[in-house]
Amino acid sequence: MRLNKYISDTGFCSRREADQLIQQGRVTVDGVVASYRTALEEGAVVLVDGQALRTRSEKKGRKHVYIALNKPVGITCTTETDVKGNIIDFVGHEQRIFPVGRLDKDSEGLILLTSNGDIVNEILRSENNHEKEYLVAVNRPVTPEFLAGMARGVRIHGQMTKPCRTRRIAKYGFAIVLTQGLNRQIRLMAAAFGYRVTQLRRVRICNIQLGPLKLGQWRNLTEPELRGLLPGRTDW
């Protein structure tokens, strides 16, 4: 088994975060600092920052955690607890959880968190085309030309964004549905047309709606929501 998969299978973090831990030299296997090429033999002792990882069998059958949070502005989607206003301390869950993807510090709304690192990459994989819907307020009146341009795609970060759906919801507001998650994507797309985003709220991820969840509150996902988010899987 690859080392990053072993770490994520314990629920400690996602594979992507495990790669970062390995790169930072924070993972040892049988007392030796690990690399991406480290072979993981059966019975090997894997430590992160000198602490042993608990396997799922050692967690006494506790189910994984899947929650939806209505994130306020000012909260940073990071597991680094030395970052002021990090999302982990904000939620304060008894289990070790981490965010699925990110939502800018200056944005609010729906974000998912889980203790199951094995499913994070599946949810984030771009070819799965999971929809994310946002409500956006801007500093200029929304025009049909602006909405059409956003929907066609905009060059940011040296690449064209994927076509998306847009609709006007107010003189200074619109809704947009994306199937990708580039860094500060909506803000940069709007800026390409001379617009400045003044408020941004995510209201849906795939089949999961923000609904009446109050700002700063979180709830557990339901089984129907998990089935829609992870079709074909039952190992939640």
pLDDT per residue of the chain (236 residues) written in tens, 0 to 9: 788 888 877 777 778 888 899 999 999 988 889 998 887 877 778 888 887 776 554 444 557 899 999 999 999 999 888 899 999 999 988 888 889 988 999 999 999 999 887 777 777 765 567 899 999 999 999 999 999 999 999 999 999 999 999 999 999 999 999 998 899 999 999 999 999 999 999 999 999 999 999 999 999 998 889 888 887 776 66
Q: Does residue 235 lie in a domain region?
A: no
Same domain, 176 and 217: no
CB 78 within 8 A of CB 87: yes
For the CA atoms of 139, 143, 146, 148, what is the dihedral angle to 10 degrees? 150
pTM for this structure? 0.74
The secondary structure of residue 187, as a DSSP letter, is H
Q: What is the CATH number of the domain that holds 40?
A: 3.10.290.10
118 is catalytic: no
- 116 and 170 in a single domain? The answer is no
The amino acid present at 23, given as its one-letter code, is Q
Residue 84's alpha-carbon distances to 22, 80, 105, 215, in angstroms, are 24, 9, 11, 19
Residue 28: give the domain boundaries: 3-57
Which residue out of 19, 49, 82, 104 is catalytically annotated?
104
Distance (Å, rounded) from C-alpha 80 to C-alpha 98? 10
Do 201 and 213 fall within a single domain? no
